[in-house]
Amino acid sequence: MLKKMLIGTAVLASCLTAQMAVADTSDKRIALSNNYAGNSWRQAMLDSWEKVAGAAAADGVVAEAPAFTTAENQVTEQAAQIQNLILEGYDAIVINAASPDALNGAVKQACDAGIVVVSFDGIVTEPCAYRIAVDFHAMGKLEVEYLATRMDGGNLLEIRGLAGVFVDDEISAGIHEGVAENPQFEIVGSVHGDWAQDVAQKAVAGVLPSLPEIAAVVTQGGDGYGAAQAFAAAGRPTPLIVMGNRYDEMLWWKEQKDANGYETMSVSIAPGVGTLAFWVAQMILDGKDVPQDLTVPFLQITQDTLEDSLATTQPGGVANVEYSLEDAQGVVDGS
């Protein structure tokens, strides 16, 4: 673990030295405005930010890059926070937003004050802001396409996320499109697991008795282990459950793999996407040409990469990649 971190820091340091020659952002200040910290994904996101942005500040790439998190996950609170950041004179604000449109007023104010605004994960629709979005639709579709390579067809149970959130609608739409293109599959049940293991367990345990045999479970991440628990508690055969890169999910998968050769795949967004947003903000401040809308690749774990991912993931965390300036350059060039 320590060795890994040292190598990581060394790699990071080397790409920093490589880029310092051109950087004239050493007096710039970048703030992270984050709306929520109460789950393992967000914790990993903040850790990654601290590691990468903190190192960048220590090396003089930027003057400082603090992270601010609101207590209540509320739009009004985050809007007030952004206004404070404007007053404090930050040069760029990186936002994981509580709402795609309700923060637009505050974001516009920031743009008008000459501040670079980069939103990621929870993006904002205000045109002046930059967006680093995930193609959640493709992620949902990928799950069904993977299932089509693994089985001849069958009944699917869909575990959705938090009702009313854009991400949930997108992933679900992708899954349904995948099923429409692969009519050998049928979704026989759909529950909301709120991306939380215990909520998913409860919801699945409730509907399971009334459902026919389930061949596979399509998920949105954070809910796979709970689904596995519910199937085990009901004494039903364990179906193929698509996982979402959480440590507990991967650990369960590994146990099953060792015990009976269980095979599945896992897909989600790396919490390190925040560090990608950091570098994009830095590049914009550096005068680079960056398109307004960027797409970040998702992180997929397969039967072969499971052990490696498990080894590099903290217990209780999420499989992660932290981005370097070069990675950010690659994403910008690729779009």
Partner 1 sequence: MTAFKTLSEKPWIWSFLGMIAIWAATAIYTGGKGSADVITAALSFATFTAIVGVGQMFVIATGPGNVDLSIPSTIALSGAVAMKVMDGSNAMLPVGAAASLGCGLAVGVLNYLLIRVLRIPPIIATLSSSFLILSTAIAYGRGLKIKPPPLLAEFTTAQVWGLPVLALFFAVFAFGMSVVLNRTIYGRSVLAIGQNMRAARLAGIKVERTRFLTYALSAVLAATCGFLLAGFSGGASLNMGQEYLLGSIAVVVIGGTSVAGGKANLPGILGASMFMFLLVTMLNTFGASAGVRLVMTGLIIVAVITIAGGEDAQS
Residues in a beta bridge with 189: 157
> Does 210 interact with partner 1 (rule: CB under 8 A)?
yes
Q: How many Cβ atoms are within 10 Å of 3's Cβ, its own excluded? A: 7
The site string for partner 1 over 4-33 (x = CB under 8 A, - otherwise) reads: ------------------------------
Cβ(156)–Cβ(214) below 8 Å:
yes
> Does 264 interact with partner 1 (rule: CB under 8 A)?
no
What is the full DSSP assignment across 63-75? SB--EEE-SS--H
Greatest CA span in the chain, whole angstroms?
A: 64
> Does 105 interact with partner 1 (rule: CB under 8 A)?
no
Q: Residue 315 burial by CB count (10 A; 0-12/13-18/19+): exposed, middle or buried?
A: exposed
> Does 274 interact with partner 1 (rule: CB under 8 A)?
no
Q: How many Cβ atoms are within 10 Å of 43's Cβ, its own excluded? A: 16
Q: What are the two backbone dihedrals, phi and then psi, of residue 256, each rounded to the nearest 5 degrees? A: -65, -40
* One of 208, 270, 273, 276 touching partner 1 (CB under 8 A): 208
> Does 136 interact with partner 1 (rule: CB under 8 A)?
no
What does the chain come to in residues?
Answer: 335
* One of 282, 317, 327, 328 touching partner 1 (CB under 8 A): 317
Give the residue with the Cβ less far from partner 1, 230 or 284: 230
- Per CB under 8 A, the segment of 38-46, 51-59, 92-100, 283-291 that binds partner 1 is 38-46
Q: What are the two backbone dihedrals, phi and then psi, of residue 56, each rounded to the nearest 5 degrees? A: -65, -40
> Does 180 interact with partner 1 (rule: CB under 8 A)?
no
> 308 Cβ partners below 8 Å, 6+ apart?
none
Q: Tokens for 303, please give them.
A: 């039967």
> Does 207 interact with partner 1 (rule: CB under 8 A)?
yes
> Does 173 interact with partner 1 (rule: CB under 8 A)?
no
- Per CB under 8 A, the segment of 10-18, 27-35, 105-113, 190-198 that binds partner 1 is 190-198
The site string for partner 1 over 229-258 (x = CB under 8 A, - otherwise) reads: x---xx------------xx----------
Nearest to 42 by CA among 12, 73, 5: 73
- Per CB under 8 A, the segment of 6-14, 57-65, 189-197, 260-268 that binds partner 1 is 189-197
Closest separation between CB of residue 42 and partner 1, Å?
A: 9
CA pair distance 163, 150, nearest whole angstrom: 29
CA pair distance 131, 295, nearest whole angstrom: 8
Closest separation between CB of residue 5 and partner 1, Å?
A: 16
* One of 176, 202, 254, 257 touching partner 1 (CB under 8 A): 202
C-alpha dist (Å) from residue 200 to 129, 142, 160, 195, 331: 35, 21, 9, 7, 34
> Does 38 interact with partner 1 (rule: CB under 8 A)?
yes
Sites of contact with partner 1 (CB under 8 A): 37-40, 43, 71, 160, 163-164, 189-192, 194, 196-199, 201-203, 205-211, 225-226, 229, 233-234, 247-248, 314-317
